[in-house]
Amino acid sequence: MRIAVTGSIATDHLMTFPGRFAEQLLADRLDRVSLSFLADSLDVRRGGVAANIAFGLGVLGLHPLLVGAVGADFEPYRVWLKDHGVDTDAVHVSATRHTARFVCTTDREQNQIATFYAGAMTEAREIDLREVVTRHGRPDLVLVSPDDPEAMLRHTANCRTLGIPFASDPSQQLARLTRAEVRELIDGALRLFTNEYESALLCERAGLTEEQVLDRVGSWVTTHGETGVRIRAVDRAPLTVPAVEVAEVVDPTGVGDAFRAGFLAGTAWGVPERYAAQLGCAVAATVLDHTGTQEYRLSRDALLDRLRTAYGPASRTELSSYLRGMR
C-alpha cells in the first residue's frame, strides 16, 4: 500500500525551561501577557508533521511519498529522509523562502509554548495532487496533515476528484480554519485524527456534535496522551487501546506524529485496528525516550518486546512478520 503524506516540513528549535509556565501566568493579566523564559538547552532538529510521519513510515519499512513545500536549505534534510525510506521527489522547493521553522519551549511538567513560521510552506498551495499522481503514481491513501490551509483544502478536493481515499489530520491548523473549511476537510475522510483537546476544538470550530462528526468520517482516531487512544465509528462500539508505559518522558514533541506513522503502517498492512493502534502506541513510546521527532531508532526485536510487554504475546505474533522490512 502506497501512502502519500502531505503537510508541513520544518526545522524544530526545541528549548527546555526548568520552571513551570503556570507560575508565570497571572490570572487577572492574561489579556496582556509579556513573558520571557530563560531556557537551559537548545536542540535544533528536523521536524514538520508530514516529514515526521513519513520518516516513521519509512523506518517501519514502507516507502511513503512526501508532499510539501521547502526552501533551498532543504537538501541535507532531503538526503536524511531518503536514507530512511522516504520518497521526496514530490517536494516543492521555493526559490525565495526558507524551510518552515517550529520553535518550542517545554517546561518541567511537559507543558509547551510554541511558534510556527510558515516560510516556504505557504507555497504548498501551488502543489496539484493531480500532477503528483501523473508524475509519481497513484497512492492508495493520502494523509492531509497540517499545512498551509489552502493547500489542505486543495489536496482534499483533489482526492475527491481523483477518487483517492484520504485521511484528515487538521490538528494545529484548526484555529486558522473557518466552520466551512473544517467541514470540507473532514467530509468523507476514511479516517480523522485528533488528540483529546483537538477533538473538542474540532466540534466547536465545525459547529457539529461528536455524533455528527462521526456521520461524516469512516472512523475517528483520538489520542489521549498517557491513557492511550480511542477509535470510534458509527454503529460499532468504541475501541480503546492503552498507551505503552515509559519510565521517563524525555520529550513529548512529535509523539502524535509517531503514533500516526505506526497506526497507518499497521492499517496499510491490513492488520486489525487494535493491533495497528498498539503499534502506533509502541512507536510513540519510543519517541518519548528521545529529544526531537526523528532522533529515535527502531529495533525490530526491541519493538516486538515492547509490544509483548504492553499488550501480550498476541500483539507480537500479529505484527512480527510485517516488521521484517524495518530499516
Cβ neighbors of 36 (< 8 A, separation 6 or more) are none
DSSP run (H or E) holding 275? helix 273-288
User: If residue 122 lies in a helix (H) or strand (E), which one and from where to where?
Assistant: none
Q: Higher model confidence: residue 312 or residue 26? A: 312
Which is catalytic among the residues 28, 257, 301, 305?
257
CA distance 167 to 315: 25
Average pLDDT over residues 270-286: 97
What's the pLDDT at 253?
81
Asked whether residue 25 carries a pLDDT value surpassing 90, the answer given is no
What is the Cα–Cα distance from 90 to 132, expressed in whole angstroms? 7
pLDDT(327) > 80: no
Between the two ends of the chain, the Cα-to-Cα distance in Å is: 17
Helices (H), 207-321: 210-216, 255-269, 273-288, 300-311, 313-320
Please state whether the predicted TM-score (pTM) of the whole model is above 0.75: yes
Asked if 327 contacts 85 with a C-beta cutoff of 8 angstroms, the reply is yes
Q: Which three cell numbers stand for residue 247?
A: 519510565
Output the nine-digit C-alpha cell for 80.
536524511
Active site residue 73: no
Please report the pLDDT score of residue 107 as a whole number.
Answer: 93
The pLDDT assigned to 292 comes to 80
Q: How far apart are CA 251 and CA 253, in angstroms?
A: 6
Helix (H, G, I), strand (E, B) or coil at 218: coil
pLDDT of res. 249: 87
